[in-house]
Amino acid sequence: MAEPDGRTLGDEEVAAAERVIRSGMLNSVWGVEAKALEREMAATYGSRHAISCSSGTAALHLSVVAAAPDPGDEIITTPITDFGTVAPILSQNAVPVFADVDPVDGNLDPDAVAALIGPRTKAILAVHLFGASARIGELRALADTHGLTLIEDCAQAWLTETPGGALAGTVGQVGTFSLQQWKHITCGDGGLVITDDDELARRMRLFADKGWDRAAGRSHAAFGLNYRMTELQAAVARAQFAKLHGVVAARRRTAGLLTKALAGLPGVLLPNAEGHAWWLYPLVLPGGGAPALAERLRAAGVPARAGYLAEPLNHAPVLRHGPVYGTSRFPLTEEPAACPEAERMVAETLLIVDWNENYTDDHVSTVAAALWEALGA
Ligand SMILES: *Cc1c(COP(=O)(O)O)cnc(C)c1O
């Protein structure tokens, strides 16, 4: 199966890049593109604020800054995610605490999160893994009960809908998004955060711009880095953003066809299609054997991989033995605890098939036929 490249870059993006270069203004502090992208993002998500930045990891760093942990405070998150979810926690000298996941879809198990909430917990950082909604309503209730900030990492979940019907990213206090090369839409690298909270928005804007309140002159009342998106990124991102609904709709159509074609396939849990944005098409084999199946599917030309990660992040060497800063493991004091469900998923049960908006009915048939061939009775 020849995999389509799944990108929607074309004349609109070329025109956007040219528009910016001809304008002579490539920096978003003085330009118009990033501000327009922020308005378009806020309008689509119905949020009071949207802030552009240089990557999804930067967006997550801003969200951790918004939660304002003191050094040594804890942020509960998932071990099955991109390292960009965890790096910003360490970067603010807070401690990532990994809660185990629901073995059905790899998203955070709210009961596991609840069991880890303690006096130093400052926030819950949930990921909508592969585009499937996390149990975000339950996590919001937990966060509210304990006075925690809820952050939603939507890097893989553009236009994902939660079971309550909200867009993923609007249930927590802050939602974060990525425009990295292989996300639903892209400007190479880029990020966005949304929030309805004026104070959190203020903190995040300041941190993304060196702590520089430009209305206050060249005075620095806050600490920050330079996480600004450039006008070139923003203009390309705007052209891509206009295509977002089409991209997600196309992925939903073909993923729906595959789910239908796999109905009754033994030994496999099919993903819950509700609200799914299909960054990837995930399957779970409760009996194990995902690595061998992935190999067999690849031999049949299907772009399948087992486990998604080499190891869940509670086993990441940097978090187990450091160092984090210099020769120090600060702010870590112990090795992350075990997360047996996540460990089993990554090693044995999780299979992912690459997915994108240019898949055709023929691609779906090829994937379905290979899976039936491998697993069918
Ligand atoms: C891609 C990704 C990130 C990091 O985004 P970058 O734009 O690559 O920095 C964070 N979290 C998740 C879940 C991701 O998929």
Q: Based on DSSP, count helices (H) and strands (E) in the chain, helices before strands.
A: 13, 10
Cα 98 to the center of its chain, rounded Å: 16
Pocket test for ligand 1, best of 82, 125, 156, 355 (most atoms within 8 A of CB): 82
Which amino acid does the sequence have at 179?
Answer: L
Distance CA 124, CA 64 (A): 10
Pure H helices in the chain? 11-23, 33-45, 56-67, 87-91, 110-116, 136-146, 198-208, 231-241, 244-261, 290-299, 317-321, 340-344, 361-375
Given the CA of residue 156, which atom of ligand 1 is nearest to it?
15
- Orientation angle between helical segments 11-23 and 231-241, nearest 10 degrees: 150
For 51, the token pair is 């802030």
Distance CA 35, CA 235 (A): 10
Maximum CA extent, the chain: 72
Does the beta carbon of 176 sit less than 6 angstroms from any atom of ligand 1?
A: no
Given the CA of residue 55, which atom of ligand 1 is nearest to it?
7
The CA-based dihedral angle spanning residues 363, 364, 370, 373, taken in that order and rounded to the nearest 10 degrees:
-140
Question: Which residue puts its alpha carbon closest to atom 1 of ligand 1?
Answer: 155
Verdict on whether the full-model pTM lies above 0.95: yes
Beta bridge partners of 325: 328
**78: Cα within 13 Å, side-chain hemisphere:** 30
In the chain the domains, ranked by start, together with CATH numbers, are 11-241 (3.40.640.10), 244-375 (3.90.1150.10)
Does the beta carbon of 349 sit less than 6 angstroms from any atom of ligand 1?
A: no
pLDDT tens for the 377 residues of the chain, in order: 666 678 899 999 999 999 999 999 999 999 999 999 999 999 999 999 999 999 999 999 999 999 999 999 999 999 999 999 999 999 999 999 999 999 999 999 999 999 999 999 999 999 999 999 999 999 999 999 999 999 999 999 999 999 999 999 999 999 999 999 999 999 999 999 999 999 999 999 999 999 999 998 898 889 999 999 999 999 999 999 999 999 999 999 999 999 999 999 999 999 999 999 999 999 999 999 999 999 999 999 999 999 999 999 999 999 999 899 999 999 999 999 999 999 999 999 999 999 999 999 999 999 999 999 999 86
Does the beta carbon of 131 sit less than 6 angstroms from any atom of ligand 1?
A: no
340 burial (CB, 10 Å; 0-12 / 13-18 / 19+) is exposed
Does the beta carbon of 127 sit less than 6 angstroms from any atom of ligand 1?
A: yes
